[in-house]
Structure 1
């Protein structure tokens, strides 16, 4: 996604006129959809370019899984106020165990004789890394339009010109969190960039972000 420098003061949502639309207006609420539910299964889904060897791919997957499990368990422990040394040690051991079990499973599955192409081990590791990236960037997305007079939008989303178009003012404090949808962008992510991102390389992170559905929770996509 490429940040739009000039954000309009008002954005628009084309909707069919329904009870759900009325409820959202009365409650002054917007729905942020899970990218995995989009009509296009490739929309916002990154595709990994495997430019690392198996050992390096395993290390990337290990770190992604450990980070995810550690974050989830730490949040749960904080909720129930379990934050002592034993809890932290348990979280670290469990995170490592989960990652190692997955890596062992991948290695075993790669021996399946039905995989009769290239390097099935690297292929499977790549697919699991893609899944971990999707989990890491799991945020709700809402798409709004910059114009209220687009015939195509009225046709597709405005109930064939029989619905309504709702205008929303854009508060100044969220303007920087709104991004222009880049329909021609690449979904390709280099595995080496994911590895660098895990080492806090901000340039690599930006490259990964541009191909994955990474928009801060509650932000908006703008069709041009």
Structure 2
């Protein structure tokens, strides 16, 4: 089963993100300005190109019937459950510090300057007080000298950090899983089995108006696999490859991601999903929390399942209770 899964995923990624070694060596300044790739067509005849139609044809045949969201018990998660919403955020906020990192080589100073200028103009107050953008913002805004050399020196100091981490901040991502039986995920994301897990129809998510063609599988790669410059991939989907690749240590999550580029101006970070199709209550959930989940599920008229721990086999299963 896992082999078949990898086979179609490889086909999907090869079609949407064709890696051509000849393209990697071309300076970024000759690739980025040409959104349709005219420069590359001249420089590298017969280069590998994105086949969007094939990629989505493969994807649409392999959307999982059911996907799951593990939740801790809180007012926020209850609201999401009640309203069928899912929070999307920058991958920089995820628990994997290497999530969605990208690299790029040979960006001109003017292009770097444009990146920084755009980033600082679009940042909110919260953005400016957190993470890499605080360093970018403080450094960039402090450059007031008219002398160009001083500005260039400051830009070079943050050059590497910006190029490595910028895709962590240029996407909003919501995460789901193909499985609801992962003991690790119940432990990590559902508060040691005291939380719950919501079930959704994967096909309905993929075909919903807001999410259409923004629902993708995660590709798990070797820890030693080199970083691919985003512009060596698909100019149609810059940066998305980095957002969809995680190292093999995370493969147990069997993750799918809903991805929005920052340029899409997502109205709310709470993404509207189709109605949930079931809910699973953690084996250690306190009785008062359990009642709250059951009450919401009843109003939604969806099946309710109870997690069962099997100590002899160190596994879990579920029993339908309503």
Where on the TM-score scale, by shorter chain, does this alignment land: which range?
0.5 to 0.7
| 2:196 corresponds to 1:157 | no
Q: TM-score, normalised by structure 2?
A: 0.41
User: Residues 30-179 of structure 1 correspond to what in structure 2 (within 5 A)?
Assistant: 30-48=86-104, 50=105, 52=106, 57-65=108-116, 105-109=150-154, 121=156, 124-130=158-164, 133-135=167-169, 137=170, 139-170=171-202, 171=204, 172-173=207-208, 174=211, 176-179=213-216
Bigger strand fraction: 2
Q: Where in structure 2 are there 5+ consecutive unaligned residues?
A: 1-11, 14-54, 123-142, 245-257, 262-270, 274-322
The CA deviation at 1:179 is: 0.9
The answer (yes or no) to whether the contact 2:103–2:163 under 8 Å persists in 1 is no
Bigger helix fraction: 1
Q: Where in structure 1 are there 5+ consecutive unaligned residues?
A: 73-97, 111-120, 195-201
The answer (yes or no) to whether the contact 1:14–1:157 under 8 Å persists in 2 is yes
Distance 1:134 1:104 in 2: 29
CA RMSD for the aligned pairs? 4.1
Distance 1:25 1:169 in 2: 14
- Relative to structure 1, the CA distance from residue 168 to residue 124 in structure 2 (aligned partners, 3 Å threshold; closer, same or farther) is same
The answer (yes or no) to whether the contact 2:101–2:166 under 8 Å persists in 1 is no
The CA deviation at 1:58 is: 0.9
- Which segment drifts farther, 57-66 or 13-22? 57-66
Residue deviations 1:66-122 (CA, integer Å, cap 9, x gap): 66689x6xxxxxxxxxxxxxxxxxxxxxxxxx9xx8x75552337xxxxxxxxxx4x
SS at match of 1:47: coil
Distance 1:162 1:31 in 2: 20
SS at match of 2:98: coil
